[in-house]
Amino acid sequence: MSFGWAYVDCEASISSHGPTGSIQFMSGGGVTTGSAKLIYHTTSLGGYQPSTMVLSGNLVVTGAVSASVFQYKSIQIIDATGSTSFGNTNDDTHSRIGSLIVKNAAGVKVLSASMANQAVHVRGFNVLYEPVSVVSYTASAPSYILGVQNSSNVRIQIPSASIYGSGTLLIVKDEVANRVGTNIILTGSGGYLFDNTPSYTLTGSNPAISLYSNGANWFVF
């Protein structure tokens, strides 16, 4: 087997153009060039961290973009299709300023929060319901409706108003069709009151009670 020889002119150099740090791209005719609008910083410069690529202009991506962290600044419009997911732990907080509108695919407003009148509009309202089928029951936040299904004397311990927070509503309703000679008694612990009393008793046929918290005690309304 024979080998030929090739001459390599090591003194010849391939020239590139553009400012220092510019990323090269083909400009036509087999010539590469660079632009100050597409720079890779190997060291800290002008507030940029080392190993940072800076694009001054628009970027169009036809595939997926993966990143450990996204930082958005001066965003006016976010337009996305398909499902999105925000946050991954219970202590994540997503804050926004301005009104909020949630619509279905037909354009029907399902939920809105208006900064103009500081009111929330909900097309339908579904809250947490808990059945009470035992004679001794301890409610827990964020219970909203407690439906009592046991026909015996039922004692329900309501958590502290401070746990629920100021402005929270709580409803207790007797669902037994024929309650005879038994009661539903609401109690608390820690010294808080129901309309300035330590307990509240529901009697009669299918009674109900609506409570609200001021952050310290419960009140009937």
Residue 1 has pLDDT above 80, yes or no: no
The tens digit of pLDDT for each residue in 12-51 reads 556 778 888 899 888 877 788 999 999 999 999 888 889 9
Domain-located, residue 15: no
Domain-located, residue 61: no
User: Quick one: what percent of the chain has pLDDT higher than 70?
Assistant: 94
Residue 8 has pLDDT above 60, yes or no: no
Q: Are residues 133 and 197 in the same domain?
A: yes
Structural domains of the chain, count: 3
Q: Are residues 156 and 186 in the same domain?
A: yes
| Domain hosting residue 179, numbered range | 129-220
* CA 152 to each of CA 37, 43, 117, 140, 156: distance values in angstroms, whole numbers, following the listed order: 78, 76, 47, 22, 12
Instruction: Kindly report whether the peptide bond that precedes residue 50 is cis, defined as omega within 30 degrees of 0.
Output: no
The tens digit of pLDDT for each residue in 114-129 reads 999 999 999 998 999 9
d(CA 141, CA 170): 10
